[in-house]
């Protein structure tokens, strides 16, 4: 594997943020502390902690957190010495107020996430993060849903706002390896900052997609232990690290300790094993935001229809993150048509 970048790979573990969707945002402080201690011991570079929908996401629409996310972030900071604590912020859900609060209690990095065509709403938050002395990265969600030229255009906007890296974010787990290659290569040729990649495993290609991204020059890479993330989860961290080691890339993280943490701490937290079930497959196929899965399943039960039909219809309507309220509307319409 010949990488197109000489910069070291920086891993971000997302199970305590993306995995929040899986546990319906019910992480306890004790669980967060145990996971962060294990990741710190293994040498993880960054650990993302927040509500699944980012700072400020604890609402009726997105799901109430069991424990205030600021308390969880503070607990994570207390348990980490070398690992840096990261947060996610989606403008319109989170505000600069939450960003400042997270910074005050010790968060060192923020990924400012927008839909792939709406980078302009990130300007204030990226700029503020830089003023606060944080690492500020852009996170272009649903990256499969826009032409490559649009992706490049939007990434350049984030770069102009002060982002130190921009992520190609495969929120639906819909991208195939050739599509990842095309997108990362285009950004590498167009930007002067680092490129990141965040995968979902809905079509069982998260690790393959991540390897392609690294080959094309991505240096900011996400993973989730035990695939603890929305849909079928993300690139499985305890799999990715030994794969990279076999390829001669030592990222400085202890793979044995990751495996033990996944087996002994993460597995008991999971409501059920993360599998690529029919709902996840349909999300990847239809290009639907991965966090919609549980909402669609609940709506299907409520209206007596197949959740897959809801997901396919959401894909046709090009629903994006933040439009969870559309799920019930679609379910009601489909039930009415069925009747």
Residues of the binding site for substrate:
17-18, 171, 198, 289
Helix or strand holding residue 151 (H, E): helix 148-161
Question: Which residues does residue 140 pair with via DSSP β-bridges, in sequence order?
Answer: 114, 168
Helix or strand holding residue 47 (H, E): strand 46-48
Distances (CA, A) of 72 to 50, 79, 192, 209, 308: 8, 11, 34, 31, 34
* Dist CA 16 CA 37 (whole Å): 13
* Dist CA 16 CA 107 (whole Å): 14
Residue pair 220/46 in contact by the 8 Å Cβ criterion = no
Cite the annotated binding site for Mn(2+) by residue number. 18, 198, 200
DSSP state of 317: T
Per the annotation, the verdict on 21 as an active-site residue is yes
DSSP3 helix / strand / coil % (the chain, rounded to 5): 50, 15, 35
* Dist CA 274 CA 295 (whole Å): 17
How many residues in the chain?
339
Alpha helices in 191-266, H assignment, sequence order: 206-215, 237-246, 255-261
Residue pair 20/54 in contact by the 8 Å Cβ criterion = no
**Residues sharing a CB contact under 8 Å with residue 312, sequence separation 6 or more, in sequence order:** 282, 286
* Token reading at 82: 């070398």
User: What are residue 86's phi and psi, to 5 degrees?
Assistant: -115, 155
User: What are residue 10's phi and psi, to 5 degrees?
Assistant: -115, 115
Options 21, 51, 125, 295, the catalytic residue: 21
Rounded to whole angstroms, the maximal C-alpha distance in the chain is 60
* Dist CA 110 CA 138 (whole Å): 9
Catalytic residues: 21
């Amino acid at each position: 594997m010949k990488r197109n970048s000489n910069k070291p790979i920086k891993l971000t573990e997302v199970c305590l943020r993306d995995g929040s969707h899986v546990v319906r945002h019910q992480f306890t402080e004790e669980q967060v502390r145990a996971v962060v201690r294990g990741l710190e011991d293994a040498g993880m570079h960054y650990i993302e902690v927040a509500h699944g929908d980012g700072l400020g996401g604890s609402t009726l629409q997105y799901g109430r957190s069991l424990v205030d996310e600021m308390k969880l972030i503070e607990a994570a900071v207390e348990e980490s010495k070398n690992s840096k604590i990261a947060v996610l912020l989606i403008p319109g859900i989170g505000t600069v107020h939450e960003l400042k609060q997270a910074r005050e209690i010790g968060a060192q990095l923020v990924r400012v996430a927008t839909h792939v065509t709406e980078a302009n709403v990130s300007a204030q938050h990226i700029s503020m993060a830089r003023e606060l002395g944080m690492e500020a990265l852009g996170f272009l969600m649903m990256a499969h849903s826009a032409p490559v030229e649009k992706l490049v255009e939007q990434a350049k906007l984030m770069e102009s706002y002060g982002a130190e890296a921009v992520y190609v974010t495969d929120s639906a787990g819909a991208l195939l390896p050739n599509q990842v290659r095309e997108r990362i290569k285009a950004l590498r040729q167009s930007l002067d900052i680092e490129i990141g990649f965040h995968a979902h495993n809905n079509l069982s290609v998260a690790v393959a997609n991540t390897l392609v991204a690294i080959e094309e020059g991505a240096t900011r890479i996400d993973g989730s232990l035990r695939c603890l993330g929305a849909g079928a989860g993300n690139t499985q961290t305890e799999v990715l690290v030994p794969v990279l080691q076999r390829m001669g890339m030592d990222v400085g993280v202890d793979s044995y300790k990751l495996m033990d943490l996944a087996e002994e701490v993460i597995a008991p937290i999971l409501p059920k094993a993360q599998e690529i079930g029919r709902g996840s497959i349909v999300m990847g196929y239809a290009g639907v935001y991965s966090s919609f899965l549980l909402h669609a399943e609940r709506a299907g039960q409520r209206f007596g229809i197949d959740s897959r039909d809801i997901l396919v219809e959401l894909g046709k309507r090009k629903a994006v993150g933040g439009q969870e309220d559309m799920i019930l509307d679609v379910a009601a319409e489909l039930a009415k048509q069925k009747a």
